[in-house]
Amino acid sequence: MPTDQPLGILAGGGTLPRRVAEAARSQGRSVFIVAFAGQHDSATVEGFPHIALRIGEAGRIIAELKKAGVVELVMAGGVRRPSLSELGLDWRGIQLFAKIGAGALGDDGLLAGIGRELEREGFRVVGPNEILSDGTVAAGVLGCHEPDAQADADIAHGLKVARMLGAADIGQAVVVQQGLVLGVEAIEGTDALLARVGPLRRIGLGGVMVKVAKPQQDRRVDLPTIGPATVDRAAAAGLRGVAIEAGATIVLDRAETVAAADAAGLFLIAVAT
């Protein structure tokens, strides 16, 4: 990758954008962040050249990236679906949303549409996993605990439900316990899903969270991401384990995440889909 050119980052919520920025800097690259106003965490941009713009300001986003000398860029972090009043559409943004139409109402349609428009402008969009040293994980058990037969059945059911959710551009995660779907991820995100299902858990063997990429999504944007906090929240919700999609899920702080799962008695497994 060209280390003599700054890496552009379009930053949504969560810690992933900063992890990408720090990884790029450790590789000797400069970084310029366009943070989506109202979506990003302030700590994401601290110490890096940045500007905060609304998602609908497509013309200015493009202009600022070009002014910074960006050619290669990453879209990282969760993006909450904005209301029309939050978009802040400029003329280029109006043209963009006219192109993607109803697809802009879903996460995948919105992010994929932005990515396509940026590529038309000559930028090269790459996935966060191409910058991060850990990247995605291969299939297999990641810690010292393994799912039993009931957990395997819950994982299989969760994969089926998660694929349907993803195909409808609703969310990436589902929680299943003893064959029952306790909750699905929608606009609130994975952390809120885990908080919501805790009081819903049944007596007996705990449930499983399954998190996979949406089948139709551009794998360079909005890849499923978990980390130590995900494991902590899963344990607090009374779950027995977390299943993620092999080759399509980013595990932040992998050693720490696996250690947290081992300490909590949770299994962590990457499954091929």
Please report, for the chain, the start and end positions of each structural domain, with discontinuous segments joined by +. Answer: 7-130, 140-271
Taking a C-beta distance cutoff of 8 angstroms, is the pair 181, 155 a contact? Answer: no
Q: What is the pLDDT of residues 126-168, one digit of tens each?
A: 989 889 877 788 999 999 999 999 999 999 999 999 999 888 8
The arithmetic mean of pLDDT across residues 42-61, rounded, is 87
Tell me the CA distances in angstroms from 157 to 25, 32, 216, one per residue in order.
41, 42, 20
- Rounded to the nearest 5 degrees, what angle is found at the Cα of 52, between the Cα atoms of 128 and 65? 60
Q: How much is the pTM?
A: 0.81
Q: What is the pLDDT of residues 201-228, one digit of tens each?
A: 999 999 999 999 887 666 677 678 899 9
Neighbours of 194 (CB within 10 A): 25
The arithmetic mean of pLDDT across residues 49-74, rounded, is 91
**CB neighbour list of residue 56: distance below 8 Å, 6 or more residues apart:** 82, 87, 88, 89, 90, 93, 94, 96, 97
**CB neighbour list of residue 129: distance below 8 Å, 6 or more residues apart:** 135, 136, 223, 250
The sign of the CA dihedral 167, 169, 172, 174 is negative
Instruction: Return the CATH number of the domain spanning residue range 7-130.
Output: 3.40.50.20
**140-271 CATH, one of 3.40.30.10, 1.10.8.100, 3.40.140.80, 3.40.50.2000:** 3.40.140.80
b/e string for 69-94 if b means 16 or more Cβ within 10 A? ebebbbbbbbbbebeeeebbbbebbe
Q: Which of 247, 175, 169, 184 is nearest to 215 (CA)?
A: 169
